[in-house]
Chain A
Amino acid sequence: MIEICGLTKRYGAKTAVADLDLTIARGEVFAFLGPNGAGKTTSIKSMVGLLVPAAGSVTLDGIDVVKQPQDASRIVGYVPDEPYLYDKLTGREFLEFTVGMYGIEGAAAKECIEQQIAAFELRGFVDQLCESYSHGMKQRVVFASALVHQPRVLIVDEPMVGLDPKSMRFVKDLLRMEAAKGTTVFMSTHTLSVAEEIADRIGVIAHGRLKFVGTISDLRRQLERHDSTLETLFLEMTNEASESFVTQG
């Protein structure tokens, strides 16, 4: 479903992502791990067409993101690390705008929106202006808008930041549920326990290079440390516990 071949992105002299190769299957939850400044968000922005890679390609369900960005975005739901909502629109108007952009009209559009309102429990505030929402409320509306057009690929950048335990549980269940329906979920996260709990496979990136791809068990086998926590393995893999505080994301 997601095929990344030799993806390279440079910012001037600095190489943010170097020669990234990844294949992720339909219905899989893939967690992308790495310290700050490792290249996670750059990779994600290249996958959704916000950045044009210097080399390599990203293909989503057979559609090349660079050559056909609009066709690709039609099958993708994207939740960025800093989501954008129109302050002066209500949550419902924002969802109407999103379905309109995806060419869903009439009764189908109404039904999709009502489904999301019910699924994300937005009823209590969906008709208020977005500027009055708390962080958790905003995140729920953003997830609803990413899923309202039933995407085949869901790309989520740091979904747990600032959420309370209940909302985190909700997001974890949601991602697993979407995968069960056949949606491919690509998620970047700092929360290692989340990756451990819900991801089918993980990828570890550091300094723009992919260090590891596989399951948690594969990672343990590779490092021959069966008794270790994911955190210890992650720090050993990236080998930059101290550096992670000085580089910028």
Chain B
Amino acid sequence: MLQKRALTDRQEARVLEQVRWQTFRATILQSLRTSRLRVCVVVVLSAVFWLCMFGLFYAGFDLITSAIGHSPTLARTVHAIYNVFFLSLLVMLCLSSAVILFTSLYQTAEVSHLLTMPIRPGRIVIHKFYEAVVLSCWGFILLGSPLLVAYGCVARSPWYYYFMLLPFLVSFVFIPTSIGSILCLLVVSFFPKYRFWLLGFVAAMVLAVFGTFFFTAFAGESKDLLSALWFQNTLSRMKLAEQPYLPSWWLSTGLLEAAHPASQHATRNAFWESFSFLAALTANALLGPIVVYQIADRYFRSSFSELQGTKRTTRWRFFEPVDRMFELGLTLFPRQWRLLLLKDFRLFRRDPMHWSQFLIFFGLLAFYFVYVRRFHYGQELDGWITAVGFTNLGVVGLILSTFTTRFIYPMISMEGRRFWVLGTLPLKRSSILWSKLVFALAVSLLPTCGLICLSDVALQVWDRAPWIGVLHQVSAIGTCFGLCGMAVGLGARFPDMSAVSPSRVAAGFGGTLTLVLSAFFVISQTCATAFPVYWYQVRLSEGGADPSGFAILVGVLFSLLVTLFATFLPLWIGFRAFRRFEAN
């Protein structure tokens, strides 16, 4: 008879650690073997992103340091910035961990498999908890480290400040991840049927509290903005984030203690002060998983079972008029196209992954554009307004490019498993691609042009130079055409017809290529018109003779050429490949 023995808790952890390590190693080796371009692009883009953020934060801290001068006020200002920044991240990490844990614990086959093995439920939850920590750490360090390193450079912090950054950041991430995990486990255990409503309610409350906080913190008359009084008032209002029981306060205070030694003697004290905050964070970080484990051991198995019977099958009839309106808008198209477009629209609408990310990114941009209105512009700022206007245009284009790569590019591949339907219908292959292009334009044109219009209203572009507003709209339409043409064309050129997940398709060679080309297109198309218009406006505001508009004409023509090239070349390649395509 085979000798089997019950594993200790530590042994269970070791077996799962080994699986995580083997999976990680296999993924890295496979990526290096088969997707070198993707790995290079991810590394290069991450480095570029980090350097840009570092440069931005360095310039910002440098500006604050030189503008304030008075050391205690400077220290208070930086402390306030850190407190608000880390409190925002604390709340966002709590919510995102709850969502990540819910998906990975209750909706994956792996957990279902592990539950049939002789392993403690608490250990299974901790296994997925560590995955959530790694996911959170990656984003948090990418966003937090350039800020902290930039401040260290500006404040000429001692060497140990840089060495303490990583332990501070990692131990901090454990705390919101633990809170999010506990929230997820308790909500699913005690309110399995109302979990979405509860999570939505918590998210809405958090957004409301934060929205109120930000609006009150930066409130004031537009003409007083950036004045000394406004600055003092803002600092006082930001004290709301300065609560000694918040882990974000421990983090910011600990880091600033390490960053600001006043003298040689103070260095030793500052180090130990900082170390005591790190110790407080680490102790809480270690306590978090223990609490998660205990709760999970008690409730996870029963909540998993409970959730199996509460699958959502309700159709939201509320949206049916939206479908009809969409269909009405398509009356000019042939019937077959209409049916294809309506099918794609229904799939889009019923998958919250599609529109929620779009909504969040574009919603945040709209929030920023509305806030831009608060700044009081003098006549002399025309060059500045032009620069901000075109930057907004570029940012909207870049965000749209991530959307077209993530959701439009994989559309042809996602038809792969259903190709027995589309491929056998009395329908031209080209109609399928045209319908995808029309669909992509239908969902991207309105929000893109709307956002650019909002930006121009906020910047008072329509009042000062309406022709720039028109130029922005033409550019936005061109951006939509170029990005959609590239996503549809290259999606048809590099289809993965066996794909199950659109994210995998987007992460493949074709998806990466589309993302890189889209970024190049947006940057070149925007810059081609932005620079001539900017210099024209600067010369105009300097008050000399009327400058010539020839450079603008050349820029616009070049931009138009780039747009035509980006729209039709990938489409031509895609149509040719798709006509020859043979489904397995």
Chain A residues in contact with chain B, CB under 8 A? 9-12, 16, 45, 48-52, 69-71, 73-74, 76, 78, 80, 82-84, 86, 88-90, 93, 97-98, 100-104, 108, 112, 129, 149-150
CB contact between B302 and one of A52, A76, A101 (< 8 Å): that residue: A52
Collect the chain A residues with CB atoms within 8 Å of residue B302's CB: 52
A-B contact pairs, 26 of them (CB 8 A): A11-B308, A11-B309, A50-B116, A50-B304, A51-B305, A52-B306, A70-B6, A70-B119, A74-B4, A74-B6, A84-B112, A84-B113, A86-B110, A89-B23, A93-B19, A93-B22, A101-B118, A102-B117, A103-B5, A103-B6, A103-B11, A104-B4, A108-B2, A108-B3, A129-B30, A150-B1
The residue of chain B having its C-beta at the shortest distance from the C-beta of A52 within the complex is: B305
A71: nearest chain-B partner, CB-CB: B118
**Distance of A103 Cα from B15 Cα, bound (Å):** 10
A149 touches B2 (CB 8 A): yes
Known: A73-B116, A103-B7, A108-B3. A10 touches B26 (CB 8 A): no
- Which residues of chain B have C-beta atoms less than 8 A from A104's C-beta? 2-4
- The residue in B4, B7, B301, B302 that gathers the most chain A C-beta atoms within 10 A of its C-beta is B4
Whether B71 is near chain A, meaning CB under 8 Å from some CB there, is: no
- A70 touching B118 in the complex, CB below 8 Å, given contacts A82-B109, A84-B113, A88-B27: yes
B residues in contact with A88, CB < 8 Å: 22-23, 26-27, 30
B112: which A residues are within 8 A, CB to CB?
50, 80, 84
User: B4 and A103: CB pair below 8 A?
Assistant: yes
Tell me, yes or no, whether B120 is within 8 Å of chain A by CB: yes
Is A74's CB under 8 angstroms from B23's CB? Answer: no
How far apart sit A14 and B254, CA to CA, in the bound complex (Å)? 56
Please provide the 3 A-B residue pairs with the shortest distance between their CB atoms, ordered closest to farther.
Answer: A11-B309, A84-B109, A88-B26
Q: How far is the CA of A80 from the CA of B12 in the complex (A)?
A: 23
Q: Nearest A residue to B11 by beta-carbon distance?
A: A103
Contacts of A112 in B (CB 8 A): 2
Query: Is B310's CB within 8 Å of the partner chain A?
Result: yes
In contact, A73 and B117 (Cβ under 8 angstroms) = yes
Q: Answer whether residue B443 sits at the interface, using C-beta atoms and an 8 A cutoff.
A: no
Q: How far is the CB of B110 from chain A (nearest CB, A)?
A: 6
Interchain CB contact (< 8 A) of B309 among A10, A76, A100: A10
Query: Chain B contacts of A10 at CB under 8 A?
Result: 309
User: For residue B5, which residues in chain A have a CB less than 8 angstroms away from its CB?
Assistant: 103
Contacts of A100 in B (CB 8 A): 15, 18
Judge whether B115 is part of the interface by a CB distance below 8 angstroms.
yes
Chain B positions within 8 Å of A78 at CB level: 116
A89:B19 contact, CB within 8 angstroms: yes
Which residues of A lie under 8 Å from residue B306 when comparing CB positions? 52
- The answer to whether B15 touches A97, judged by C-beta atoms less than 8 angstroms apart, is yes
- Taking the closest CB of chain A, its distance from the CB of B274, in whole angstroms, is 40
Could you mark each residue 306-332 of chain B with 1 if its beta carbon is under 8 Å from any beta carbon of chain A, else 0? 101110000000000000000000000
Q: Number of B interface residues, CB 8 Å?
A: 35
Looking at A11, A50, A71, A82, the one whose CB has the most chain B CB atoms below 10 A away is A50
Q: Which of B22, B118, B310 contacts A11 (CB 8 A)?
A: B310
Binary flags per residue of B288-307, CB closer than 8 Å to A gives 1, else 0: 00000000000001101110
A73-B118, A84-B110 given; A89·B22 CB < 8 A: yes
Kindly identify, within residues 63 to 120 of chain B, every residue whose CB is under 8 Å from any CB belonging to chain A.
Answer: 109-110, 112-113, 115-120
- Give the contacting residue for B117; candidates A12, A51, A86, A101; CB below 8 A: A101
User: Out of B2, B23, B27, B115, which one reaches A50, CB within 8 Å?
Assistant: B115
Residues in chain A near residue B26, CB distance under 8 A: 88-90, 129
Report if A97-B3 is in contact (Cβ < 8 Å); known contacts: A78-B116, A84-B109: no
- With both beta carbons as reference points, the residue of chain B lying nearest to A72 in the complex is identified as B118
Q: Cβ of A69 and Cβ of B301 under 8 Å apart? A: yes
- Look across to chain A and name the residue whose beta carbon is closest to the beta carbon of B27: A88
A51 to B15: give the CA distance in the assembly, Å. 25
Q: How far is the CA of A150 from the CA of B4 in the complex (A)?
A: 10
Across-interface contacts of A108 in B (CB, < 8 A): 2-3
Across the interface, which residues of B come within 8 angstroms of A74, CB to CB? 4, 6, 118
What are the residues of chain A within 8 A of B113 when measuring CB–CB?
80, 83-84
Nearest A residue to B311 via CB reads: A11
Query: In the complex, A212→B302 CA distance in Å?
Result: 31
**Given A50-B305, A108-B2, are A102 and B110 neighbors across the interface (CB < 8 Å)?**
no
- Give A88 Cβ to nearest chain B Cβ, in Å: 4
Contacting residues, chain B, for A149 (C-beta < 8 A): 2, 4
Chain B residue contacts of A102, Cβ below 8 A = 4, 117-118
Residue of A nearest to B111 (CB): A84
Chain B residue contacts of A76, Cβ below 8 A: 116
* Residues in chain A near residue B117, CB distance under 8 A: 73, 98, 101-102
Cα–Cα, bound, A45→B304 (Å): 12
Given known contacts A50-B305, A88-B22, A89-B26, A101 and B109 CB-to-CB distance under 8 angstroms: no
- CA A93 – CA B20 in complex, angstroms? 12
A76 to B4, CA, bound (A): 12
Q: With the chains together, A10 CA to B308 CA distance in Å? A: 10
- Residues of the B chain whose Cβ atoms lie less than 8 Å from the Cβ of A12: 309-310
Contacts of A89 in B (CB 8 A): 19, 22-23, 26
User: In the docked arrangement, what's the CA distance between A12 and B3, Å?
Assistant: 42
- In angstroms, Cα B119 to Cα A149, docked, is 14
In the complex, how many angstroms separate the beta carbon of B372 from the nearest chain A beta carbon? 46
Minimum C-beta distance from A177 to chain B (A) = 17
CB of A126, distance to nearest CB on chain B (Å) = 14
- Chain B contacts of A69 at CB under 8 A? 301
**Beta-carbon contact of A150 and B116 below 8 Å:** no
* Cα distance A80–B115 in the bound complex, in angstroms: 12
Alpha-carbon separation in the docked complex, A86 to B22 (Å): 10
Across-interface contacts of B15 in A (CB, < 8 A): 97, 100-101
| Nearest CB of chain B from residue A12's CB, rounded to whole Å | 6
Contacts A49-B115, A88-B23 known; list 4 others, CB within 8 Å: A11-B309, A50-B116, A97-B15, A103-B4
Residues of A contacting B19 with CB < 8 Å? 86, 89, 93, 97
Minimum distance in angstroms from A147 CB to a CB of chain B:
11
Within 8 A of A (CB), among B119-135: 119-120
In the docked arrangement, what's the CA distance between A50 and B308, Å? 9
Nearest residue in A to B309 (C-beta to C-beta)? A11
Bound: A235/B184 CA distance, A: 45
The answer for the CA separation of A104 and B2 in the assembled complex, in Å, is 8
Residues 12-63 of B contacting A (Cβ, < 8 Å)? 12, 15, 18-19, 22-23, 26-27, 30
A76 to B30, CA, bound (A): 34
Question: With A and B bound together, what is the CA distance between A51 and B301 in angstroms?
Answer: 8
Interface pair B18/A97, CB less than 8 Å apart: yes
Question: How distant is the Cα of A78 from the Cα of B112 in the complex, in angstroms?
Answer: 12
Chain B, 474-491, CB within 8 A of any chain A CB: none
Known: A11-B310, A100-B15, A101-B15. A48 touches B116 (CB 8 A): yes
Q: Report A-chain residues with C-beta under 8 Å of the C-beta of B109.
A: 82, 84
Enumerate chain A residues within 8 angstroms of B27, measured Cβ to Cβ: 88
The complex places the Cα of A10 from the Cα of B309 at a distance, in Å, of 8
